[in-house]
């Protein structure tokens, strides 16, 4: 019989090349990497700055791919998946160092959206 935690692990999974990983496992893997290869976490404000940089890199790629700006030579080789993963990495770091359980936070966020927005978008004329 599956426990509540086992069921939540099955619901929220991210695939890597060799395995599936839950949010909890991602937090643990990042923490282990930071404490071994990375030595220690940057402080929270430094990570916030890094997050803004990573979001900027993702934004730059998206406005060139989906927007009206053209690619520059320096943009070549940048991959959307890698930029998104960089953003996720820093978010996981910030969650770890501030004590946020991303699995619980994500579940609560879904509950909030389901309660607040369950009909909001269906009734939005702009989306029809």
Predicted confidence at residue 4, as pLDDT, reads 55
Dist. CA 37–CA 88, nearest whole Å? 18
Taking the domains of the chain in order of start, what are their residue ranges? Answer: 19-101
pLDDT digits (tens, 9 = 90+) for 81-102: 999 999 999 999 999 999 999 9
pLDDT in tens, 48-78: 999 999 999 999 999 999 999 999 888 888 8
pLDDT for 1: 53
The token duo for 1 is: 């019989």
Residue among 39, 56, 47 at smallest CA distance from 97: 47
- Separation between Cα atoms, residue 36 and residue 38, nearest integer Å: 6
> Can you tell me the mean pLDDT for 12-30?
76
Residue 28 class from Cβ within 10 Å (0-12 exposed, 13-18 middle, 19+ buried)? Answer: middle
How sure is the predictor about 12, in pLDDT bands with cuts at 50, 70 and 90? Answer: very low
Q: What is the CATH number of domain 19-101?
A: 1.10.287.1080
Tell me the pTM.
0.78
């Amino acid at each position: 019989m599956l426990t509540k935690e086992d069921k939540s692990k099955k619901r929220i999974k991210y695939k890597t090349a060799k395995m599936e990983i839950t949010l909890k496992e991602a937090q643990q893997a990042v923490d282990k990497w930071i404490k071994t290869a990375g030595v220690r976490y940057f402080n929270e404000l430094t990570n916030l700055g890094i997050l803004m940089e990573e979001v900027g890199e993702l934004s730059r790629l998206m406005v060139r791919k989906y927007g009206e700006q053209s690619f520059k030579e320096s943009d070549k080789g940048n991959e959307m998946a890698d930029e998104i993963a960089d953003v996720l990495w820093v978010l996981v770091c910030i969650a770890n160092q501030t004590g946020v359980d991303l699995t619980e936070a994500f579940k609560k966020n879904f509950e909030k959206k389901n309660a607040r927005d369950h009909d909001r978008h269906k009734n939005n004329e702009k989306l029809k």
